[in-house]
Amino acid sequence: MNPPPAPGTPDDDDRLSPAGLVGHGPLLVALDIDGTVMTYDEVISDDVRDAVAAVRASGAHVVLATGRSLHATVPVAHELGITAGWAVASNGSVTARLDPAEPGGYRLVDVITFDPGPALRLLHASLPDALFAVEEVGVGFRVSAPFPDGELTGVHSVVEIDDLAAHHVTRLVVRSPGHTPEEFHRLVHRMGLEDVTYAIGWTAWMDVAPHGVTKASALERVRRELDVQPSRTVAVGDGSNDLAMLEWAALGVAMGHAPEPVRAVADEVTGTIDDDGLLDVLHRLLD
């Protein structure tokens, strides 16, 4: 998905210092992937790769927290040199332990599912020309029709709408090129989808997840498993699916190109993805 024009970033005086992270013990550093670690052309700079390695070498737990499916997350973790540790995928519906000894390089720890039927039928009635997909963890997606190349990873099976609703799933994806994100927000508000959690992307793309499930809810479980103090948590992201994560962290950082609602909830705003804005945050964690 194409990013929006990048707004300016605040002066350094407006930023919080990582020194404000009180308490003792290791940090938990949660990083969104697309638009944060990786460009929209799926490139990770050498500088970001080196900085992530340095933060991990300092004793911090670096956890990728993404809307990507798990099988699209693991290769990014490996590209960053993270072959062991934790990963949060599908906007919090899937939590895994990375382990090179396991098939696929991971072991599922938590998979939260929901019945997509009610939301799917309401959305399909309002958006009959939209594309719909449901995730099959570790495999790919069942789709109502083929998605554009590169938008979904894994194996794709084209099925009828009723078949998409036949089983509980971790995520429902809705793509409607004829609608703007603002129209998506208005549509969801009118429909009153209260039994699910949803996140709307840069374009006419929406992820529907189990009620109450976000990156933050999954990261809180990881934090407890790692015995990291709440005051030692950092999160960096750029999208609406990062809102809860940025509010959850003791230090929530929005990328400079993030939309205004995301920047508004963050403790600070760093540079854009084109500026490798993540670098400033990671380097200051090493101070």
9 is a domain residue? no
**206 & 218 share domain:** no
Residues 99 and 221 in one domain: yes
108 and 218 co-located in one domain = yes
CATH code for position 160: 3.30.1240.10
Q: Which two tokens stand for residue 227?
A: 């015995």
Residue 114: strand pairing partners? 169
**Are 81 and 220 found together in one domain?**
yes
| Domain of residue 103, CATH code | 3.40.50.1000
pLDDT score of 75 more than 60: yes
Comparing 3-7, 98-102, 151-155, the range with the smallest average pLDDT is: 3-7
Whether residue 225 is predicted with pLDDT greater than 70 in this model: the reply is yes
Domain that holds residue 184: 117-210
pLDDT of residue 13: 37
Task: Give the dihedral sign, CA 70/241/186/194.
Answer: positive
User: What backbone torsions phi and psi does residue 44 show, to the nearest 5 degrees?
Assistant: -105, 125
Q: How far is CA 149 from the centre of its chain?
A: 20
- Over pLDDT 90: what percentage of the chain? 72
Burial of 117: CB neighbours in 10 Å, binned 0-12, 13-18, 19+: middle
Comparing 199 with 242, the larger pLDDT belongs to 242
Residue 19 lies in a domain: no
Residues 193 and 239 in one domain: no
Instruction: State yes or no: pLDDT of 180 exceeds 80.
Output: no
Instruction: Let me know if residue 125 belongs to a domain.
Output: yes
Residue at which a domain ends, from 185, 210, 235: 210
Q: pLDDT confidence of 14, banded at 50, 70, 90?
A: very low
Last residue of a domain, one of 182, 210, 238: 210
Whether 56 and 178 map to the same domain: the answer is no
Mean pLDDT of 143-161: 93
**Of the candidates 261, 255, 210, the residue with the CA atom closest to the CA atom of residue 235:** 255
Alpha carbons 243 and 146: distance in angstroms, whole number: 30
Do 133 and 255 belong together in one domain?
A: no
Q: Are residues 151 and 266 in the same domain?
A: no
Residues 189 and 264 in one domain: no
Q: Among the three residues 181, 210, 239, which one is the final residue of a domain in this structure?
A: 210
Q: Are residues 130 and 268 in the same domain?
A: no
> Given pLDDT bands bounded at 50, 70 and 90, which one contains residue 191?
confident
**pTM of the full predicted structure?**
0.88
Q: pLDDT band for 186, please (50, 70, 90 cuts).
A: confident
Q: Which residues contact 70 (CB under 8 A, 6 or more apart)?
A: 87, 89, 90, 94, 96, 106, 108, 137, 138
